[in-house]
């Protein structure tokens, strides 16, 4: 488990850290506005914090429950259907997009709003064309049952119990 946590931390700093924080800050730096800690811009802090919390909880579940990482080259060894995964199949992606949209609010940036939409589209294509077929092959009927019961991006109101 310790190895999975270390690899997850490194992956998190490099990939989601770049996609959700470094690159948006770089994009925002080229715009005339800077963060304003007044209403309504401060509302951007809510989805940023929520997105970060969601991602970190899911990364923990991957390492502890799944004995793997969020990296496609070292995925979980078991199907992770605990925690937030009981409500939605892709909470990590939801968390990353929420953080980016929060940054768009914080910076009042249409460019970041467009970037967040583009990232979401990339996640959708990755999930549909790579992740779901891969999980279906790896986990078979258990993933099929999970997929039937738990929505892709919009959370169900109650937790799924296998």
- pLDDT, residue 29, reads 77
Each domain of the chain, given as residue ranges in start order, spans: 2-149
What's the mean pLDDT in 8-16? 89
Predicted TM-score of the model (pTM): 0.91
The DSSP code for 47 is: H
What's the mean pLDDT in 131-156? 97
Architecture of the 2-149 domain: Up-down Bundle (1.20)
Q: How confident is the model at residue 134 (pLDDT cuts 50, 70, 90)?
A: very high
What proportion of the chain, given as a percentage, has pLDDT over 70?
A: 93
Task: Concatenate the DSSP letters of all residues of 98-129 into one string.
Answer: HHHHHHHHHTT-HHHHHHHHHHHHHHHHHIII
What proportion of the chain, given as a percentage, has pLDDT over 90?
A: 69
- Give the residue, 128 or 40, on which the prediction is more confident: 128
- pLDDT, residue 31, reads 67
d(CA 95, CA 48): 8
- pLDDT, residue 35, reads 63
Q: Each residue of 35-70: pLDDT tens digit?
A: 666 677 778 999 999 999 999 999 999 999 998 889
- pLDDT, residue 32, reads 63
Q: How confident is the model at residue 3 (pLDDT cuts 50, 70, 90)?
A: confident
Contacts within 8 Å (CB) and 24+ apart, 72-78: 72/130, 74/4, 74/7
Q: How confident is the model at residue 108 (pLDDT cuts 50, 70, 90)?
A: confident
């Amino acid at each position: 488990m310790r190895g999975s946590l270390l690899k997850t931390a490194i992956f998190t700093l490099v990939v989601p850290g770049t996609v959700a924080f470094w690159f948006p800050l770089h994009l925002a730096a080229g715009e005339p506005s800077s963060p304003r800690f007044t209403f309504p811009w401060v509302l951007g802090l809510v989805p940023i914090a929520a997105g970060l919390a969601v991602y970190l909880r899911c990364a923990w579940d991957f390492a502890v429950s799944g004995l793997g990482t969020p990296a496609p080259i070292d995925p979980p060894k078991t199907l992770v259907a605990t925690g937030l995964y009981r409500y939605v199949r892709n909470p990590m992606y939801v968390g990353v997009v929420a953080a980016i949209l929060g940054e768009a609010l914080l910076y009042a940036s249409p460019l970041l709003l467009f970037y967040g939409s583009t990232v979401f589209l990339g996640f959708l294509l990755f999930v549909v064309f790579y992740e779901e077929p891969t999980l279906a092959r790896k986990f078979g009927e258990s993933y099929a049952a999970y997929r039937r019961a738990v929505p892709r991006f919009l959370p169900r109101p109650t937790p799924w119990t296998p």
